Structure 1
C-alpha cells in the first residue's frame, strides 16, 4: 500500500484539545494566551443569516445542483477538494491507495455524530454506499450510481473507523468524485425512512441541520452545536458562528436583489445582470465559475434537421453567441464557446475557445448544401415541403434564468436570418424533472448544464445507451463509439499527460460534430451585506459555504 501521509489533517492554528485534568494554576497561567482567541471567537458568535436563493429544488437530498447547495450546509463528505485541485481530508483523516489503484483504505475521523445522534463510523458510510449503488428507485440519489456504479466491487468496514473500498477497475477521478455533493454522508438511521421524508428532512453531520422546509418560501437551517468535522478547506474548525440560516426562495431577480438593498436579506445568490455594477459598489461580491459542462444547446442528432452535421454546423455559425451572452449578461458572465466543458474545468481545451465564430455566409452555404434551398413566404427555409423548424425546450424560470432566456431570444432572432424557425418552448420545473414533454421526438434542441469538478462529467453526458436503456443525460443523442472509447480510456489512465490528451481528443469529437453549441458557464455569484464576513464558495461545484460566516460587531 502506498500511504498518502501528506493527506493527514493538521489542526488549525489556535484550535486544539485542552486537557480538563490540568490544574487551576496551569489554566490561570495560560489564560493570557487563550482568552484573546476565545474572545475573538465569541465576538463572531450569533445572528441568523437571511439568504435569498433563486431556485427551489424538488428535493433537499442530492440530485440537482440547487439541492447540492443546501446539502453542502448539512452534510459532510469523505474528502474535500481545494481550488487548485488537491484532494484533502474531511471525514477521512488519512487514506492509502494500492499500487494497482484498485484498493482504497480510509481512516475515519473519530467522535463524529449525525444530527439525530447516530454515530458516524465506517459502517454508516458503507450504508451510504449501498444506497448509492442500489437499483431501488426509492433510494432518491440516482446520480451516485451514474458516477461510481460500474467501478465499485465492494465497500466494507473492517474496523469501526476504517473504510475499505475495492474497485473493479481503476478510476482516476474517484477521489474527486467523492468530494462532490452527490456523496454527502447521511445518517443510516434517517436513510431507513421513505423517500418523501428523506427529501423533506435529510439528516447529515454538517455545521447546520435541516429544521423545516416551508415549500415555496424557505428552508430553515439550525446551527449544529456539536459540529467537529469541518474539511481541511475550512477557515476554522468547530461549530458555525451563526445560529442558523433562513434559506429563502426568491425566484424573481428584481425582488431578490431588492431584498438585499432593503436590508431584508443578508446575502443573495445570482446577481441580476442589470444590477451587477451597482452590486459591486454597494456590497461584497464573490463569484466562481463552475466546472463541468457549460450551459450549451444540445442538438438532437437522432432526428431531422440536426441528424445532418451540416445543419448543426450552420446553426452554430449563424448565431452570434458571444454577443448574445455579452448583451444579456452585461459582462457579468463569460462566453463559453466550447460546449463540451466549462472554461473553469481543468481539462478544458482552449483551442476550441473560438469554435464556430459568427459567420452567416458560411451558415447559408452549409444549409444550401444540405438541401434546404427553398423558402416559405415568411423567409423560413424548407426541404421536401418541411420547414426548418427547431423546437427549443427549456426549463422556464428554473435551469435557465431570465438573463439566460434573453440569450435564447437573441439567438432565435439571429437564426431566423438564415432561415431557421426557432420555437422557444418553456416547460415548468416539475414537468422538466419528471421528463414530461422531453422525449426524443419532442425537441430539436434544449439547453442544459451539469456541474462537476473535472472532465469526469463527460462520462455522464456522453455515455451511450446500454441494454436498451436511454441515457437521458445525453440529450444530443450523439454517441459514436470512438467518443466513448476516448472517455473510458481517460477515466482509467493515471498518467496525467495521457489522460489530458484523451480528454482533449474527446472534446474535439464533440465540438467538431457540433453535437452541442456552447453558450455560457454556470457562474455562481453571491452579494452580501458589508457586515457579513467570510462566506466562501466551494471548489467542488461552487456551493456557497456558510460554516465560517459571521456578522461583524
Structure 2
C-alpha cells in the first residue's frame, strides 16, 4: 500500500477555491495578529461550527461536530483517501490479514509522537484496543461508546464481542485478533472514534472515569479538557458554548501546512453563520442553508458542495404502541411527499432516498419495495390498523443545530408535521438541544417519531445498515432476529461480489419492515472567504486543516 495522499499538498481532483474580496476585521483579526506566523500568510483559520463538541474524547462521540474537532487532533491506524471514502494508510503504513480473516498485522509509521511526547508504537496501539474492549458501566452505553458497541458488538465478558486480543510484536508492529471475521474492519478503523490516543494522558486524566447513567453519561476530565493525539493540531482551550482553540503541533510527523491556529467558533444559527462570513469574522462554515447559496455566490463567496454520502430519515420507535403496527409504519411512509420535502427544505443536489444507503454504496437495490406518496392509501391503512380518526404522537427533533443531512431541522419538522396531519396523525412537538436530543433518542425509549440521519464514515454497506439495524437499539425499539442474523452474515463475508446480493436482500427486508422512513440523501455545502484558496472537501467529512491553503 502507498502512503495516503492526505499529507500531500497536491489535493488531486479538488478545485482551488476562489471567493470575493473581504477584509477580515474585529476580534478575529486581533486573534490573528496575536497568533503570528513565520511567513507571510496569516495562519489563523476560523471555522464556524454549528454546535459544541459532545466530547473531546472521540471514543465517546458519534456526532459530526465532535468528529470535526477530533480529526484535527487525532489520527487512527487507517485514514481515508483524499477526496474519497475508501480506506488508506495513516498511522499504519500497511497491513495484512490472515487467510481466515481473524488476524490483522499492522506495520506502523516510525517517528510519531503524541502531543504529550509519548511515543506512538505497538504498545500504544494495543493499549487503545484494550481500552475500548474494557469500558465499563455508563462508558458502554450507546450515549457514550456508540461506535464501538455498534461495530465491535460487545465488551469484555460479552460472548458476541468481535475483539479478542492485541499483541505488540515490535515498536512498529501490532497484531489485532478478532473472534469472528468482519469484512469492514479495516474501513471502520478510519472512524475518529477509533483514533489512537496517548496512553499516558488517558491514564493521567482518568479518561475512562465516566459517571452518570446510561441515558446521560458524564464525561471525564480528559474528555473535557485534555485530548491528546498524534494529529497536526493540539488542544489549547474549550470555552463551552463559544469556541474551541487548537494550535499546530510543532513535532508533527507530516506536512504542517499554512494553518498555525484553528478557532472553531460555535454559531448555531444558519443565518448568523452566513452573516459572520459576510462580515469577515470567520473564514468559512459548513451546512450552508439552501436559501443562502445563490446569494453568497452572487456576492463572490465560494460555495463548495460535497457529493451526497448521507441519509436523512424519520425514525419510528416501535416501543410506541401505534408504531409497532407495520400498517401504521406503511401509512406514515405514504403520507410523506419526499419531493416536496427536498424542494422546500434541503440543498440543491439532494437525492430522494428509497433505502438507507446512497446509490454509490455496494448493495444498493434498484428494485427495493417503495411506498410512494399516496395520502388516501395512508388513511386507508390507518383505518385498517384501527385508527380511522388517526392518532396523536410525540415528534422529536433537534434545535439550534445544523447537520450535513439536515441543515434546518425546524423546517424539516414543520414540513413533515403538516404532511402527517393531513392524514390524521397529530404530532406533539418535542424539541431538544442537540446533546440532550442524542441522549434521548439513542439511549432511552422516551421518544416517538424523530428526525436523525447519518453521514457515511467510510465506503462500506455495514457502516449504514449495520450500524442502524444490526442489533436492538433504544432508538428504534424493535427485535428482529432474522434481520440481525442477515446483517451478521453479510458483514463477515470477505468477498464484495458475495456481499452484494446479501445486502440487496437486506435492503429489501428493511424496506418491508420499515424500522424508519428513508427520506433523502442531502448534498451539504460549505462556504468560504477569498483567502481560502483550497479546502480538502471530503464526502465523509475527513477534512484535516493542515491541507487548507491560505493566501494573504
Quickly name the TM-score band, shorter chain normalised: 0.7 to 0.9
| TM-score normalised by length of structure 2 | 0.82
Q: Which residue of 2 aligns with 1:311?
A: 328
SS in 1 for 2:164: strand
Q: Which residue of 2 aligns with 1:301?
A: 318
Q: Which residue of 1 aligns with 2:96?
A: 96
SS in 1 for 2:530: coil
Q: Does 1:415 align with 2:420?
A: yes
Q: Which residue of 1 aligns with 2:47?
A: 51
Q: Distance between the aligned counterparts of 1:8 and 1:412, measured in 2?
A: 49
Q: Which residue of 2 aligns with 1:361?
A: 376
Residue 416 of structure 1 and its aligned partner are, at CA, apart by 1.6
Q: Distance between the aligned counterparts of 1:389 and 1:85, measured in 2?
A: 41
Classify 1:398/1:347 alpha carbon distance in 2 versus 1 (closer, same or farther; 3 Å): farther
Classify 1:361/1:262 alpha carbon distance in 2 versus 1 (closer, same or farther; 3 Å): same
1:458-510 per-position Cα deviation (integer Å, ceiling 9, x unaligned):
23322334xxxxx23xx222332221121011100012122111122111111
SS in 2 for 1:261: helix
Q: Distance between the aligned counterparts of 1:363 and 1:189, measured in 2?
A: 58
Are the counterparts in 2 of residues 456 and 491 from structure 1 also a CA contact under 8 Å? yes
Q: Does 1:169 align with 2:180?
A: yes
Residue 95 of structure 1 and its aligned partner are, at CA, apart by 1.5
Are the counterparts in 1 of residues 334 and 378 from structure 2 also a CA contact under 8 Å? yes
Are the counterparts in 1 of residues 43 and 261 from structure 2 also a CA contact under 8 Å? yes
Larger radius of gyration: 1
Q: Which residue of 2 aligns with 1:525?
A: 525
Higher deviation after alignment, 431-440 or 53-62: 431-440
Q: Distance between the aligned counterparts of 1:227 and 1:412, measured in 2?
A: 50
1:94-141 per-position Cα deviation (integer Å, ceiling 9, x unaligned):
211111121111111111111111111111111111111123247564
Q: Distance between the aligned counterparts of 2:529 and 2:138, measured in 1?
A: 41
Q: Distance between the aligned counterparts of 1:141 and 1:306, measured in 2?
A: 28
Q: Which residue of 1 aligns with 2:267?
A: 250
1:263 to 268, 280, 283: 280
Classify 1:322/1:342 alpha carbon distance in 2 versus 1 (closer, same or farther; 3 Å): same
Residue 417 of structure 1 and its aligned partner are, at CA, apart by 1.8
Classify 1:84/1:244 alpha carbon distance in 2 versus 1 (closer, same or farther; 3 Å): closer
Q: Distance between the aligned counterparts of 1:105 and 1:161, measured in 2?
A: 10
Are the counterparts in 2 of residues 227 and 239 from structure 1 also a CA contact under 8 Å? yes
Matched positions, count: 491
Q: Distance between the aligned counterparts of 1:111 and 1:494, measured in 2?
A: 33
Classify 1:142/1:362 alpha carbon distance in 2 versus 1 (closer, same or farther; 3 Å): closer
Classify 1:520/1:42 alpha carbon distance in 2 versus 1 (closer, same or farther; 3 Å): farther
Are the counterparts in 1 of residues 105 and 173 from structure 2 also a CA contact under 8 Å? yes
Q: Which residue of 2 aligns with 1:341?
A: 357
Give unmatched runs, 5+ long, in structure 2.
Answer: 11-36, 155-160, 207-219
Are the counterparts in 2 of residues 187 and 204 from structure 1 also a CA contact under 8 Å? yes
SS in 1 for 2:95: strand
Are the counterparts in 1 of residues 287 and 402 from structure 2 also a CA contact under 8 Å? no
Residue 436 of structure 1 and its aligned partner are, at CA, apart by 8.4
Residue 219 of structure 1 and its aligned partner are, at CA, apart by 0.4
Q: Distance between the aligned counterparts of 2:524 and 2:138, measured in 1?
A: 31
Q: Which residue of 1 aligns with 2:191?
A: 180
Classify 1:283/1:89 alpha carbon distance in 2 versus 1 (closer, same or farther; 3 Å): same
| 1:37-48 correspondence runs (5 A) | 46-48=42-44
| TM-score normalised by length of structure 1 | 0.82
Q: Which residue of 2 aligns with 1:217?
A: 242
Are the counterparts in 1 of residues 96 and 104 from structure 2 also a CA contact under 8 Å? yes
Q: Distance between the aligned counterparts of 2:200 and 2:4, measured in 1?
A: 28
Q: Distance between the aligned counterparts of 2:274 and 2:246, measured in 1?
A: 22
Higher deviation after alignment, 336-345 or 272-281: 336-345
SS in 2 for 1:536: coil
Give unmatched runs, 5+ long, in structure 1.
Answer: 1-5, 16-40, 230-237, 376-380, 382-387, 466-470
| 1:3-152 correspondence runs (5 A) | 6-7=1-2, 46-62=42-58, 63=61, 64-82=63-81, 85-137=85-137, 141-148=145-152, 149=154, 150-152=161-163
User: RCO (CA 8 Å, sep 6+): is it higher in 1 or 2?
Assistant: 2
